[in-house]
Amino acid sequence: MHIEVTHPCVQHKLSLLRDVDTGHTQFRQLAREITQFLCYEALKHVPVAPVTVTTPLAEAACHRIATDIIVVPILRAGVGMLDGVLELVPTARVGFMGLYRDADTKQPVEYYRKLPAARPGALHIVVDPMLATGGSTAETLSILKANGAEQIIVVAIVSCPEGLAAVAEHHDDVPVYVASVDSHLDDRKYIVPGLGDAGDRLFGTR
């Protein structure tokens, strides 16, 4: 299942993010802002618990998030979305998954893993700007489930039908939130029209 967030502010910022003339400084800022909008939507059903706080005038009945949240960026581009989540949920814990796509086989290869212990009921948020072939995302979801994760959502900025289908084939219980479902993958497995290489654009490496 995927949810495409079509809010005008998201789509406006996405138009700037796509633009080839957008430099890495603005690209990072836009990726962070879009991530916040996507997570705002993705977390609207997160469990809360009632609390009573004292205001300057009286006691107030309020609510606070009542579940452990773990953010898992897929290296390296997922790091560009991390601050967007942490600004929204600063109490979240963070894990990291390092995967790259083999140039010949196009399959994900794991090179790094550092995950917090999963507490019962914890919500894992996997973030990666581009959900292209879906291989790295699906592999990350498999690893998280094997590590004890019970509730997982994926937040990506841009995806395509092929990537969404690949994730749904193996993990149809995991919702995917995106700002856009683009047309297709090209022969190099790049999303079209996409963003280009999100990692390079985030970190100014090309």
Residues recognised as catalytic = 101, 105, 197, 200
176 within 8 A of 4, measured Cβ to Cβ:
no
CB 32 within 8 A of CB 88: no
d(CA 92, CA 104): 37
For residue 36, which of 111, 115, 90 has the smallest C-alpha distance?
Answer: 90
Tokens 């654009």 correspond to what residue? 201
Q: CB atoms < 10 A from the CB of 40, how many?
A: 15
